Structure 1
Amino acid sequence: MTGPTPMPPSLWAATAEPAPEIDRLASDHTTDVVVIGGGYAGLSTALHLAEAGIQTTLVEAHQIGWGASGRSGGQVIPGIKYDPEGMRELFGTDAGDKAAHAFGATPDHVFDLVERHYITCEATRAGWVQPAHSKLAERKALERCRQWQALGADVAPLDADQMADLLGSPAYHAGWIDRRGGSIQPLSYTRGLARACLAAGVSLYGGTAVTALRADGARWQLPTAHGPGIRARRVVLCTNGYTGDLWPGLRKSIVAANSFQIATVPLPATLDATILKGGVVASDTRKLLAYWRRDQGGRLIVGGRGTFNEPSSAADFNHLNRILARIYPQAADQPIEYRWGGRVAITQDFLPHVHQPADGLSVLIGCQGRGIGLQTAMGRWLAAYLESGQASDMPVPVTAVHQIPMHSLRRFYVSAMLAYYKVRDLV
């Protein structure tokens, strides 16, 4: 079985590779390391731990990929929010350069795993494009490109005509292309990682919800909702946007924001050859950014912010229809075949966080909307750190859990932030 909870409807659930057969935990279990969460972060951590010869178990409350990892946009984007110079300001010159090189190479970790483990997931590495929505944003985008060029990244500026030709839309100004980026079918990739974990010897269980983390001497006790318990020397918590209250304060250290997507029917031949040439993916420079891509079935997929609550009707996605019409008026009449959403874990400083709030407990959280590359790489770095004990294995320091002030008012200040960003996007 693959767990009692069905996958939420989406384009990815409808077109993904079949899920591997994964049972629910049937009896008490003892392991060296238990990883909680079956998304990019958890699967990557478990895989790299097992490949290092460490006895590893992974448990997922629902199905593998049930959360944002099975519902994301499928864009594999290099870097983080901060450009290279911003990382130098954050971490210092040497550590900032190291972080920039590490975060800039996150797509390599994804495509290397795809190749090494023969993961069938529509992997395409044609590049990620960032078009500018205004002249001011154009200057900032081209400066971003310049900074990455100075580090030797495979990037290039695009003028307005080149951008319009590549996108198949004149809606934007100049921008840049980062050829390190690409796309995957996210649920197929997640399921492929699960198969790789099984092949590496990871004990993998779905439909297994951990209800508490209890320190017991040199071991942790993890009861589950359906009865059997787990004993482990170390615990790694990788629940990102679906983080609950397993550890005090952790849920309040992030904002779990919804990102929504729509997918058209496969585009007719008259549009197919002109929109997103070569398979590039795109996300623009707006604070309330839009992101879009094609899938191998020829559909046009558009994503952006969502309501704070889970979507309840097609009307909750109307803003994405307007975005589609703004960028591609020639495709605005194409029927929408799929609508879905998922939660993104945003930290206050927009960095991925690694915490160790207790002996033997590690937390990896903060996908920041770039989870495929970022969390895949962070899982590898965290596994290396747990094996060696050397913090230098990671581009970010281990930090304490800090709750976001007035987290209970997050709906209010997220709404205020969205209103502010709407105004900023007019510039």
Structure 2
Amino acid sequence: MTVDRPISLWDVSAAEPDFAAPMNADTQVDVAIVGGGFTGLSTALHCAEAGLSSHVLEARQIGYGGSGRNVGLVNAGIWHPPAKVREKLGDTYGPRFLARFGEGPNMVFDLIERHQIRCEVTKTGTLHAAHAPSGFEDLRARHLEWQRLDAPVDLLSREEMIAATGTSVFYGGLLDRRAGTINPMGYVRGLARAARGAGAEISTGVTATRLRREGAGWLVETDRGVVRSKSVVLGTNAYTDDLWPDLKKVFTKIHYFQLATTPLGARGAHILPERQGLWDTGQIMFSLRRDRADRLIIGSMGTVVGSKAQGLSQRWARKQLSRMFPELGPVTFEEAWHGQIAMTPDHLPRIYKLADGLFTPIGYNGRGITTGTLFGKAMSGLLTGMDPAGLPLPITDVKTVPSAPIMSRFYQAAFTAHQIFKSL
């Protein structure tokens, strides 16, 4: 299958090489995995290390979906503050979820170190920036909760945020020292390399077209052949299609776009001097980071309207950079892209058992790096006999969101209107 290239800046800047591996024959394995992103490849790697044979089926290229279009923030946790997580998940799963996801960045960093994955890793934390005084009060409350949990999260004053970011537009922030940044395409390709090295099979350019039971196992029909397996893991998240009935209706699909400048060199050295990734408290989220080559990568919710050279999105990006860093002067954009995010009604991910031996983690709400990596390991544990009660989340029944298609269109219109307003 032809892939439009590049799909993002990360597609061309990743040091880990891409590879194509066509499926040439029918296979039989312990686990068939659909999707070659963070979830699928973490599942394959951890299954291989546990002694299970697996075959990853990717319709396009490794990292084609959200994994290769990610902002690259390795965050500890999700959107909700700790108290809200405990409220939603209860006294057993709430603290466990917070602990597992708090350790999530270390798990990612350990995999990067163990397999020598070349992905521009930084471990200087991430910044949650207050876009307004109300945002700072929200961050102050979050900080108190993190203090109670003895987490290494610091509340930064407005002056401290100026030093950390190079701009005075924020009213303060939180510095989560557990977190960091990566080149997400480098990471996902490195996971693929590690999984293959451990014995997993990976095929690209092959589309799974049908799932059906065959005795006690599964038969995965593709446009290139058949995979027979004892179990199946669907690791498609926001890029879920019609392979399993109604699965793509369990979340609301939204888009997130980014533009990357050409390398700025010394001009941009004062911006995010420790290279933390940043996102803000605004209702329509904004992100900013500086990569190893000193490009600024700026993004927000919505799709790219126009191109890297002209149109609404590049006007929006220019206006935001000029507002924050007027001393920069004119900038040129090297790449522009967008990806899809699976948003659940309560902003919590899900683990579904769709049938005996058929599982899917889904609904990552824009936190794919740690969530996909953690859930891949969890799938391996589940398939090697772990008690489901030990999962970071309970296995739940599929519940569709009837309003999802309408809400997706509504959000897209709202995000485009926001780009227009912020470009004036």
Q: If the length of structure 1 is used for normalisation, what is the TM-score? A: 0.93
Task: Quote the Cα distance in structure 1 between the aligned partners of 2:412 and 2:21.
Answer: 41
Task: Quote the Cα distance in structure 1 between the aligned partners of 2:5 and 2:416.
Answer: 33
Cα distance, 1:411 vs structure 2: 3.6
Residue 241 in structure 1 maps to residue 241 in structure 2: no
Task: Quote the Cα distance in structure 2 between the aligned partners of 1:109 and 1:421.
Answer: 36
Task: Quote the Cα distance in structure 2 between the aligned partners of 1:389 and 1:163.
Answer: 44
Please name the residue that 1:377 is paired with.
374
- Counterpart of 1:374 in structure 2: which amino acid? T
- Say if 1:325 and 1:331, in contact at 8 Å, map to a contact too: yes
- Counterpart of 1:363 in structure 2: which amino acid? T
Cα distance, 1:316 vs structure 2: 4.5
Please name the residue that 1:296 is paired with.
292
Cα distance, 1:138 vs structure 2: 0.5
- Say if 1:121 and 1:184, in contact at 8 Å, map to a contact too: yes
Residue 387 in structure 1 maps to residue 384 in structure 2: yes
Please name the residue that 2:254 is paired with.
257
Other structure's SS at 2:98 match: helix
Please name the residue that 1:219 is paired with.
217
Q: Which moved more, 1:389-398 or 1:40-49?
A: 389-398
Task: Quote the Cα distance in structure 2 between the aligned partners of 1:413 and 1:133.
Answer: 24
Unaligned runs of 5+ in 1: none
Cα distance, 1:4 vs structure 2: 4.2
Cα distance, 1:268 vs structure 2: 3.8
Please name the residue that 2:63 is paired with.
65
Could you report, residue by residue, the CA deviation over 1:258-313 in whole angstroms, capped at 9, with x for unpaired residues?
Answer: 111011111141x3331101121111111111111011001111011113xx7553
- Counterpart of 1:410 in structure 2: which amino acid? M
Task: Quote the Cα distance in structure 2 between the aligned partners of 1:201 and 1:419.
Answer: 45
- Counterpart of 2:193 in structure 1: which amino acid? R
Residue 231 in structure 1 maps to residue 228 in structure 2: yes
Alignment of 1:158-307 (within 5 A): 158-226=156-224, 228-269=225-266, 271-307=267-303
- Say if 1:293 and 1:300, in contact at 8 Å, map to a contact too: yes
Other structure's SS at 1:279 match: coil
Unaligned runs of 5+ in 2: none
Task: Quote the Cα distance in structure 1 between the aligned partners of 2:134 and 2:16.
Answer: 46
Other structure's SS at 1:213 match: strand
Residue 90 in structure 1 maps to residue 88 in structure 2: yes
Could you report, residue by residue, the CA deviation over 1:233-258 in whole angstroms, capped at 9, with x for unpaired residues?
Answer: 11100101111000111111112211
- Say if 2:16 and 2:118, in contact at 8 Å, map to a contact too: no
Please name the residue that 2:337 is paired with.
340
- Say if 2:352 and 2:359, in contact at 8 Å, map to a contact too: yes
Could you report, residue by residue, the CA deviation over 1:327-373 in whole angstroms, capped at 9, with x for unpaired residues?
Answer: 22333511111111111111222111111111111011122111111
Alignment of 1:143-154 (within 5 A): 143-154=141-152
Other structure's SS at 1:322 match: helix
The match for 2:402 among 405, 415, 420 is: 405
Q: Which moved more, 1:326-335 or 1:247-256?
A: 326-335
Task: Quote the Cα distance in structure 2 between the aligned partners of 1:407 and 1:172.
Answer: 33
Residue 117 in structure 1 maps to residue 121 in structure 2: no
Could you report, residue by residue, the CA deviation over 1:374-407 in whole angstroms, capped at 9, with x for unpaired residues?
Answer: 2111211222122124123322111111111233
- Say if 1:382 and 1:393, in contact at 8 Å, map to a contact too: no
- Say if 2:261 and 2:331, in contact at 8 Å, map to a contact too: yes
- Say if 2:301 and 2:415, in contact at 8 Å, map to a contact too: no
Q: Which moved more, 1:399-408 or 1:139-148?
A: 399-408
Task: Quote the Cα distance in structure 2 between the aligned partners of 1:366 and 1:68.
Answer: 12
Task: Quote the Cα distance in structure 2 between the aligned partners of 1:21 and 1:364.
Answer: 26
Task: Quote the Cα distance in structure 2 between the aligned partners of 1:247 and 1:302.
Answer: 35
Q: If the length of structure 2 is used for normalisation, what is the TM-score? A: 0.93
Other structure's SS at 2:289 match: strand
Task: Quote the Cα distance in structure 2 between the aligned partners of 1:412 and 1:121.
Answer: 34
Task: Quote the Cα distance in structure 2 between the aligned partners of 1:254 and 1:326.
Answer: 34
Task: Quote the Cα distance in structure 2 between the aligned partners of 1:69 and 1:411.
Answer: 20
- Say if 1:261 and 1:339, in contact at 8 Å, map to a contact too: yes
Please name the residue that 1:349 is paired with.
346
Could you report, residue by residue, the CA deviation over 1:306-329 in whole angstroms, capped at 9, with x for unpaired residues?
Answer: 13xx75534242333333233223
Cα distance, 1:83 vs structure 2: 1.4
Task: Quote the Cα distance in structure 2 between the aligned partners of 1:415 and 1:61.
Answer: 26
Cα distance, 1:192 vs structure 2: 0.4
Cα distance, 1:20 vs structure 2: 5.0
Task: Quote the Cα distance in structure 1 between the aligned partners of 2:418 and 2:89.
Answer: 27
Task: Quote the Cα distance in structure 1 between the aligned partners of 2:135 and 2:113.
Answer: 36
Q: Which moved more, 1:314-323 or 1:386-395?
A: 314-323
- Say if 2:255 and 2:412, in contact at 8 Å, map to a contact too: no
Root-mean-square deviation (Å): 2.0
1:72–1:91 distance in 2 versus 1, CA, 3 Å: same
- Counterpart of 1:124 in structure 2: which amino acid? T
- Say if 1:7 and 1:63, in contact at 8 Å, map to a contact too: no
Alignment of 1:314-325 (within 5 A): 314-317=310-313, 318-325=315-322
Please name the residue that 1:361 is paired with.
358
Could you report, residue by residue, the CA deviation over 1:112-133 in whole angstroms, capped at 9, with x for unpaired residues?
Answer: 1000111111111111011101
Cα distance, 1:183 vs structure 2: 0.6
Cα distance, 1:55 vs structure 2: 1.1
Task: Quote the Cα distance in structure 2 between the aligned partners of 1:394 and 1:289.
Answer: 30
Task: Quote the Cα distance in structure 2 between the aligned partners of 1:367 and 1:111.
Answer: 19
- Say if 1:304 and 1:320, in contact at 8 Å, map to a contact too: no
The match for 2:77 among 60, 79, 85 is: 79
